[in-house]
Structure 1
Amino acid sequence: MELLKVADYMHRHPVTFTADMPIEMAVARLIQAKQLGGPVIDLQHKIIGFISEQDCLARMLMSTYHDQQSSRVAEAMRTEVLTVRPYDDIIDLAQLMLQSKPKLYPVIDDNGCILGIISRSDVLAAIDKELHSHYRKVS
């Protein structure tokens, strides 16, 4: 199988978040973009965390139960983030996805700055496209 690169299948304009953003604004962005989550970045576009729909839901429920005011992304985000590089191999990423839970991986450059995101669906589509190209060659 030809070497498939993350850069060829990633989304180059993902929805991103800042740590001080209200959860409600993050939820609105996720819903509008139909994105399952996204990287939380600092002013230099370096990833400092990740927030998912599940993280937002948990924080909003907790705020509702405790009758609290709005929360910030920083209070709900995860700070340990699995990332990939644009030159990484899609097959290696697929194997990583089988071992780890994230459905969405931020794609970063060698300085840790966000370049895009890639999802499990993107990886599946890349592998499917590659397999179909081999079927056509055999026929």
Structure 2
Amino acid sequence: MKSIRIEDYMNKHPVTFTIDMSVAEASEKLIDSPQNGGPVLDVYQRVIGFLSEQECLIHLLEDTYLSEPHATVADMMRTDVLTVGCENSVVDLAQQMTKNKPKLYPVVDENKRLLGIITRSDILKAINIHLRSFYQKGHGRLV
């Protein structure tokens, strides 16, 4: 099961953001997608930050109180982004996800360029598929 690779289960076309995007534009992108956040990319498609629904909500509320939008993704994004490589093991990432908070990890190449994202749901699906396959081959009993 350690051989289940992230690249086989990742979303290769995730919602992404740029630093100059407004909070309203970024929020709309999140609203129109199933993601609860996404990577912020530079002009070379490298991951430089992460933006979540929570950060958008905080800044939208601030903009409402101030009655004028002013925040950009650069103002809101986190820069301490945990990433994974596409060759990494789904099982290893599942173990990491039980200890760390991120529900979504950007998948990057050796130059930090975005290849996709993988979520907890993707990990659950991958492990479930492989467990079912294992049991259907007669190695055990699916309960």
TM-score between both structures, scaled by the size of structure 1? 0.96
Instruction: Work out the CA distance in 1 between the residues paired with 2:34 and 2:59.
Output: 19
Q: Name the SS for the 2:51 alignment partner.
A: strand
Deviation at 1:2, TM superposition (A): 5.3
Identity of aligned residues (%): 50
Instruction: Work out the CA distance in 2 between the residues paired with 1:102 and 1:2.
Output: 21
- Checking the alignment, whether the CA contact within 8 Å between 1:24 and 1:70 is kept in structure 2 is no
Deviation at 1:62, TM superposition (A): 1.7
- Checking the alignment, whether the CA contact within 8 Å between 1:39 and 1:50 is kept in structure 2 is yes
Instruction: Work out the CA distance in 1 between the residues paired with 2:2 and 2:65.
Output: 52
Stretches of structure 2 that go unaligned for 5 or more consecutive residues are none
Instruction: Work out the CA distance in 2 between the residues paired with 1:126 and 1:69.
Output: 41
Deviation at 1:99, TM superposition (A): 0.7
Instruction: Work out the CA distance in 1 between the residues paired with 2:2 and 2:69.
Output: 52
The AA in structure 1 aligned to 2:13 is H
Instruction: Work out the CA distance in 1 between the residues paired with 2:2 and 2:95.
Output: 16
Instruction: Work out the CA distance in 2 between the residues paired with 1:107 and 1:56.
Output: 22
Instruction: Work out the CA distance in 2 between the residues paired with 1:121 and 1:54.
Output: 19
Stretches of structure 1 that go unaligned for 5 or more consecutive residues are none
Q: Name the SS for the 2:116 alignment partner.
A: strand
Instruction: Work out the CA distance in 1 between the residues paired with 2:25 and 2:137.
Output: 48
Q: Between Structure 1 and Structure 2, how many residues are aligned?
A: 139
1:98 aligns to what? Answer: 98
2:31 aligns to what? Answer: 31
1:54 aligns to what? Answer: 54
- Checking the alignment, whether the CA contact within 8 Å between 2:2 and 2:89 is kept in structure 1 is no
Instruction: Work out the CA distance in 2 between the residues paired with 1:5 and 1:30.
Output: 27
- Please give the root-mean-square deviation of Cα atoms over the aligned residues, in Å: 1.1
Shift >2 Å, 4+ stretches = 65-70
1:81 aligns to what? Answer: 81
Judge which range, 62-71 or 49-58, deviates more.
62-71
